[in-house]
Amino acid sequence: MTLRLTGIGFRYTRSTAVFDGFDLSLSSPATVLLGPNGAGKSTLMGLAATHLQAETGTVSWRDRVPGSRRDRVAYVGAVAWLPQEIVAIPGLRVREQVAYMGWLKGMSRTAAWEASRDALERVKLTDLAGRRSHQLSGGQKRRMGLAGALTHKSELILMDEPTAGLDPTQRKIFRNLLDTLRDDVHIVVSTHQTEDLADSYSEVVVLDQGAVRFQGSTQEFHSLAGTDTDGPRGRAEAAYAKLVRGEV
């Protein structure tokens, strides 16, 4: 199963192009997209989720191209996007919001309600199913968003900075949760954090100024650091710094 972005051109209004003839193919079950602020990570995720429309080029998942209305429905049913901020819907309880996400993707109300129970259990929010969604913490809201994607059985889940702003305990909970999903769904996570890459992801892509500076396995990524750096986290930080500075 492969996510492909081919010949992508995109700019915001009349500004300098974010992408110009951009190509990227992702088939790993767990990919991390690294890059500094302004590298184009969030834009790429929005394009892959069809929340943004490219001026040129195509996006496809498993050869589904969201061109016609029918193809778009099939695409968005298979691909879920979790933005950095998950917005609580006023008046809805947690399970109601999770079921609502499934309904928005085309499920019947009954099917979405039934599927929401298992989804909440998978993200360990069952005890909070009856709480008002706006009363959740930041980390809990992101898990609620993930439950919504699991409700409609997404094949690919795109996550934009899912652990940004979370405390160490919340980050660990979320990373452990992602580890349990890799056998069932493909995930692509954008972040500028380099810790735990070797444990959580099988592929690394480094994006800078709208271009791919590196794409390869986590082992290949760490090897760019050389032999002077100890530990996976130190090697990841050193490799990332070299790539962004253009030393590799």
8-25 confidence digits (pLDDT tens)? 999 998 778 899 999 999
- Smallest CA-to-CA distance from 233 within 194, 205, 199 is with 194
**What would the mean pLDDT of 94-102 be, rounded to a whole number?**
96
Torsion sign, CA atoms 116, 185, 43, 166: positive
Q: What pTM did the predictor assign? A: 0.90
- Smallest CA-to-CA distance from 201 within 162, 248, 147, 164 is with 162
**SS3 track for the chain:** CCEEEEEEEECCCCCCCCEEEEEEEECCCEEEEECCCCCCHHHHHHHHCCCCCCCEEEEEECCECCCCHHHHHHHHHHEEEECCCCCCCCCCEHHHHHHHHHHHCCCCHHHHHHHHHHHHHHCCCHHHCCCEHHHCCHHHHHHHHHHHHHHCCCCEEEEECCCCCCCHHHHHHHHHHHHHHCCCCEEEEEECCCCCHHHHCCEEEEEECCEEEEEEEHHHHHHCCCCCCCCHHHHHHHHHHHHHHCCC
Domain ranges of the chain: 3-245
- Smallest CA-to-CA distance from 49 within 41, 196, 165, 246 is with 41
158-184 confidence digits (pLDDT tens)? 999 888 888 888 888 888 888 888 888
Higher pLDDT, 70 or 238: 238
pLDDT for position 220? 92
pLDDT band at 248 (very low <50, low <70, confident <90, very high): low
pLDDT for position 246? 67
* Range from 61-65, 107-111, 183-187, 231-235 carrying the lowest mean pLDDT: 231-235
Q: Is residue 72 within 8 Å of 66, Cβ to Cβ?
A: yes
> Residue 204 pLDDT > 80, yes or no?
yes
126-136 confidence digits (pLDDT tens)? 999 999 999 99
The tally of CA atoms less than 13 A away on the side-chain side of residue 107 is 24
Q: Domain 3-245: which topology?
A: Rossmann fold (3.40.50)
pLDDT band at 95 (very low <50, low <70, confident <90, very high): very high
* Range from 77-81, 126-130, 191-195 carrying the lowest mean pLDDT: 191-195
Higher pLDDT, 165 or 228: 165
Backbone angles phi, psi at 65, to 5 degrees: -110, 120
